[in-house]
Amino acid sequence: MSLKKYLLRFTVAYVVLLIAIAIVLGYFERESNTGANMGALMGAALLAVSKFISDHKRPPDAREKRILVMSSFLASLVVSVALFILSVMLAGGTATLESLNSIPTTILLGVIAFVCLLNLVVLWLVYGYMARKQFEALQKKGKI
């Protein structure tokens, strides 16, 4: 079974949510933060898994879950890097790059590794535990 349409749904939702969050935070003159990005990640994954449950009348099995987690994680990395590069280019970028250069490499890599691990845990929970809970709730309501 192809999971491409769920990955596409995740990716589009993730981009739209990140841009919407940036616009709202910009309007209120706030900086984006990890919490907002986690919300976008979780929201996009919930949209994808909701469509999966709607289509298949069940939550993803272990193999499908693993593929959805890893492909969504890779898509989120690509989107995040692309949006970072775009924002640096649009903002002139020298201040951002200078501030990144001032952070020791080990600390920067540690933070990146921690955020990546956190993203994987969130995706694992959404495509696993939360998908099962959503499926059970839909069954109780008689919608599946």
| Per-position pLDDT tens, the chain of length 144 | 789 999 999 999 999 999 999 888 888 777 777 788 899 999 999 999 999 999 999 999 999 999 999 999 999 999 999 988 887 787 766 666 777 788 898 998 999 999 999 999 999 999 999 999 999 999 999 887
What number of other Cβ atoms are within 10 A of residue 65's Cβ?
19
pLDDT for residue 95: 67
pLDDT for residue 98: 76
CA pair distance 115, 54, nearest whole angstrom: 30
Give 71-77's long-range contacts (Cβ < 8 A, gap of 24+).
Answer: 71/3, 71/7, 72/7, 72/10, 72/44, 72/45, 72/48, 72/123, 72/127, 73/116, 73/119, 73/120, 73/123, 75/7, 75/10, 75/11, 75/14, 76/14, 76/41, 76/44, 76/119, 77/116
pLDDT for residue 96: 67
CA pair distance 103, 95, nearest whole angstrom: 13
pLDDT for residue 114: 95
With contact defined as beta carbons under 8 Å apart, do 28 and 89 qualify? no
Domain ranges of the chain: 4-137
